[in-house]
Amino acid sequence: MEFTDNGACFVCGKANPSGLRLDFSASNGHASATYLPDKTHQGYRDILHGGLISTLIDEAAVKAASSLGIKAITVEICVRFKAPLMIGERCIIEASAKPVRGRLLKGVAIVKKMDGTIVAEGQLKLFRT
């Protein structure tokens, strides 16, 4: 299977009218972006859905790998939630990725509030495509 980018990624694709359209900064195995959740992405009332937090962690780790010139996909993700992120509360997503062996990479990502409060931490295994 070939993995190609057609600009419609839910998280970063500019061609996806229903997507988040985040702009990531990425270099040297690190990636970051900010995100402001709105009501269309809530789980419980006024709280960002945990699945979307996991999605942000996933995308950031893949962007970090991409900054190394490595096209990768997530094959395993473990997310630990620490605090809720409220709708309308801006957050920062940060990730790093590094090759481990063969086609395997390790990714680490964090979502935190602007005051530094950790919302969630992720540990990922990425696979070079």
Give the number of C-alpha atoms closer than 13 A to the C-alpha of residue 7, restricted to the C-beta side. Answer: 3
Each residue's pLDDT tens digit, 9-25: 999 999 999 999 999 99
Residue ranges of the chain with pLDDT lower than 50? Answer: none
CATH number of 27-128: 3.10.129.10
How is the chain split into domains, by residue range? 27-128
Q: How distant, in Å, are the alpha carbons of 45, 83, 125 from that of 60?
A: 26, 19, 13
DSSP type of residue 20: -
Looking at residue 2, its pLDDT comes to: 82
Looking at residue 127, its pLDDT comes to: 97
